[in-house]
Each structure stands twice: as C-alpha cells, then as structure tokens.
Amino acid sequence: MFGLSELAVILIVVIAVLAAKRLPDLARSAGKSARILKAEARAMKEREDEAPQGPAAPRIIPGEAVRPPTTGSGPTGHTGDTPPEGRPAR
C-alpha cells in the first residue's frame, strides 16, 4: 500500500499533467496579484505618513457607555449637556 508521502507526490504529478496548460496563466495571475498587493500596501503606508498627526481617536471598548462630544457640534453648536436656548428639555 502507498504511504502519505507517495500519495502526495502522485497527486502533485497528476495535477501538473492535467493542468499543464493553465499553470502559466495561474502563475501570471498570482504575480499580478502580488504586485497589486505590494502597490496598495505602499500607497497605504504613504497615506499614513502624509496624514496630519492630530489627537488620537478615542478607543471604543465593548460594553462601555458612549458619551456625546463635549465640543459644539452640528449647526446649532449644541453640546448635548444643556438644551439650546428657546427649546424645552426632553
């Protein structure tokens, strides 16, 4: 009976014989994919380097209560702590 290594070698030979016409196309496709991946990784790193170094974004921890921002936001500049003038509190 055949062992695991012999079966693996036979399987590789059978795949190579049956797929001989498609192997160059597969290798070419894999090379293009690798080049695209490298180019995207390089572009992402360049964008990170060019980004302004502002304050770090707050970390979101699952289960933690989310508070509204403390600075004015939106067209009224309402902070969320007190109701804007002229409107009743909810």
| pLDDT level of residue 29 (50, 70, 90 thresholds) | very high
| Averaged pLDDT of the chain | 77
| pLDDT level of residue 64 (50, 70, 90 thresholds) | confident
- Higher-pLDDT residue of 27 and 78 is 27
Cβ proximity of 78 and 72 under 8 Å: yes
Span of 23-37, 45-59, 64-78 with lowest mean pLDDT: 64-78
Q: Is 22 helix (H, G, I), strand (E, B) or coil?
A: coil
How far is the C-alpha of 39 from the C-alpha of 34, rounded, in Å?
Answer: 9
